[in-house]
Amino acid sequence: MVVTGADRLRALMATLVVVLSASSVRADEQAFGVVSVREVPRDAPRLIRDQNFSFVLPGGQFVDPRITLTPMIIFAFEIPSYVQLIGLPRWAQEQEFSVAAKPPEGFPLLPPNENREQVRAMMREMLASRFHLRVHTESREERILKLEVDRGGLTLKAVDPPVPPEKEGFVNIAAGDSGGRMIGKKVTMAGVARALTVMLHRQVLNETGLKNYYTFDVKWSAPEPVDGGTVKPGLGDEGEGALMSGLKDLFGLRLRSAIGQVKYWVVDNVEHPTAN
């Protein structure tokens, strides 16, 4: 078989078309094909979610009937905790939206982790185009806390990890100056650190080195006030002290104060969404 110069040229052109088409598909995958964003009335009935609920669905979809901008931004920019997102106006924190976003036609069925990352990228584009969101990051040196295993060793017993479709649970903390309670089902120490960050409004780094899962439901009480004093509402110095004592006595953990760099995502601009 004789290959002519024309044959080589046609083969080269076909290769270029394939490369350009692949590039176009990758670019298109950074934006949803169809997006619906609707405000949820403030008097709408309360929504109770299943623990395994996920707003990321197979096939590059993002669907959530009740969500504020905060968790959308947290997800889109992979921000470790709510505390590290600042500058969001009050309306954006409180107004709930019903969001349904689907990718362009031909979006591939990807493995779960790849699918999640593609949806994350498309969410960034959607937030920029529909909410005119602009953010920048900055690092600040400030006092942080490090979650570590106490000298006496961990007292929690590890449990079996969640089996898909079950997911890692959430850590719930309710604490005040009179005491508190912490609940977790099949959670990691990274999850404990995230929950403590939100509760204490200070960055808590997980430096336990532990990779296991744990289940617990514990309560603690603060010492009775002296001289007939009353317990103040909220979490003050006494409550923080009781929380740290509870971590040590009930979990075998400690919080150590340190100075470190904390990364923040700062909102420069955000607006009400454009019409569908």
Give pLDDT tens digits for 192-210: 999 999 999 999 999 999 9
Q: 103 with 51, same domain?
A: yes
C-alpha distance across the termini of the chain, in Å: 58
Give pLDDT tens digits for 11-22: 444 333 333 333
Q: What is the 3-state secondary structure (H, E, C) of 15-39?
A: HHHHHHHHHHHHHHCCCCCEEEEEE
Query: Is 58 within 8 Å of 70 (Cβ atoms)?
Result: no
- In order of 66, 103, 212, the CA distances from 122 in angstroms are 19, 8, 32
Query: Is 168 within 8 Å of 187 (Cβ atoms)?
Result: yes
Q: Please give the radius of gyration of the chain, using alpha carbons only, rounded to the nearest integer.
A: 24
Any idea which of 26-30, 93-97, 115-119, 154-158 has the lowest mean pLDDT? 26-30
Helix ranges, 131-236 (H) = 189-200
pLDDT of residue 93: 95
DSSP code at position 58: T
| Residue 10, pLDDT above cutoff 70 | no
Average pLDDT, the chain: 86
Give pLDDT tens digits for 129-180: 999 999 999 999 999 999 999 999 999 999 999 998 888 999 999 998 888 9
Q: 150 with 255, same domain?
A: yes
Q: 171 with 124, same domain?
A: no
- Tally of structural domains, the chain: 2
Q: Is the pTM of this model over 0.85?
A: no
pLDDT of residue 228: 53
Give pLDDT tens digits for 88-107: 999 999 999 999 999 999 99
Q: 65 with 174, same domain?
A: no
C-alpha–C-alpha distance, residues 260 and 264, integer Å: 13
Helices (H) and strands (E) in the chain, counts: 6, 12
Question: Which structural domain range is residue 145 located in?
Answer: 139-264
- Domain boundary (108, 131, 154) is at 131
pLDDT (average), residues 56-69: 96
Q: 163 with 249, same domain?
A: yes
Which segment, 40-44, 69-73, 164-168, is predicted with the most confidence on average? 69-73
pLDDT of residue 229: 52
| Residue 32, pLDDT above cutoff 90 | yes
Question: Does residue 150 fall inside a structural domain?
Answer: yes
C-alpha–C-alpha distance, residues 212 and 23, integer Å: 41
pLDDT of residue 235: 74
Question: Does residue 254 fall inside a structural domain?
Answer: yes
Q: 91 with 175, same domain?
A: no
Query: Is 149 within 8 Å of 275 (Cβ atoms)?
Result: no
Query: Is 88 within 8 Å of 265 (Cβ atoms)?
Result: no
- Domain boundary (81, 115, 131) is at 131
Query: Is 202 within 8 Å of 238 (Cβ atoms)?
Result: no
